Amino acid sequence: MNILAFECSAKAASTALLSDGKLIAESFQNCGFTHSRTLLPLAESMLLGVGKTFEDIDIFATSSGPGSFTGLRIGISLIKGLAYALDKPCVGISSLKAMAYLLPPSDSVLCAVMDARAGQVYNALFDISSYEPKRLCEDRAITIENLTEELHAIKRKVIIIGDGAYLFDGKGFNDLPEYFRIQKASGVAFCAMESERYSPFQLTPAYHRLPQAERERIAKLKNTQGV
């Protein structure tokens, strides 16, 4: 079974090919270009390099949130188009859960964080003491202060990963080198092996928070009504 996975939830873009549970290839860029410019060329070049085509893919997978609203829409639209055209299933994977598959097992709690701006992060915690990460909380938006306090109460080693990890530098946690912090498509691919499959018409993003424009509109309405 061949799984083609995309990671589109943050600035970095990547794609990975998993064949019968084995990582065959992965392509990664962190140049800041929009994912509409990078994702498809990355996949095409990667598949060409290993002698595969989109027709050889059995499942298309992508990070489906939380994360960049624009990036998620681009990734989901891409795999929905590919899956529909080729009559294949697709899978949406939590951006945070996918990160739990990027590190080898250890007696640690993995804290996946993405910068949600406005003093918040998207976050989930996982026990990574085995090859199958165990979720300790649901994906959520939480303030940096509240999460810092929660992490200091954990008695085990805490490993922070994700594009929001820099927000916790110097706070007394295990810091990874930048390359290992960034979410990658291989995590999405491994997570997709046992995940529920959807038709292209069923796949939707999981934002976990309203867009900024919508939040500002609601705040403006409240202020107007309060006058």
User: For 39-95, what is each residue's pLDDT tens digit?
Assistant: 999 999 999 999 999 999 999 999 999 999 999 999 999 999 999 999 999 999 999
All structural domains of the chain: 2-95+183-211 (3.30.420.40), 97-181 (3.30.420.200)
The per-residue pLDDT for 86 is 98
pLDDT category at 219 given cuts 50, 70, 90 is low
Nearest to 159 by CA among 119, 203, 129: 129
pLDDT > 60? residue 227: no
By the 8 A CB rule, do 139 and 125 touch? Answer: no
State residue 13's pLDDT score: 97
Whether 218 shows a pLDDT value over 70: the answer reads no
Q: What sign does the dihedral 198-199-200-201 (CA atoms) show? A: negative
Q: How confident is the model at residue 216 (pLDDT cuts 50, 70, 90)?
A: low
Reply yes or no on whether the pLDDT at 180 is more than 90: no
Q: Which residue from 175, 182, 190 is spatially nearest to 3, judged by alpha carbons?
A: 190
State pLDDT tens for residues 135-147: 999 999 999 999 9
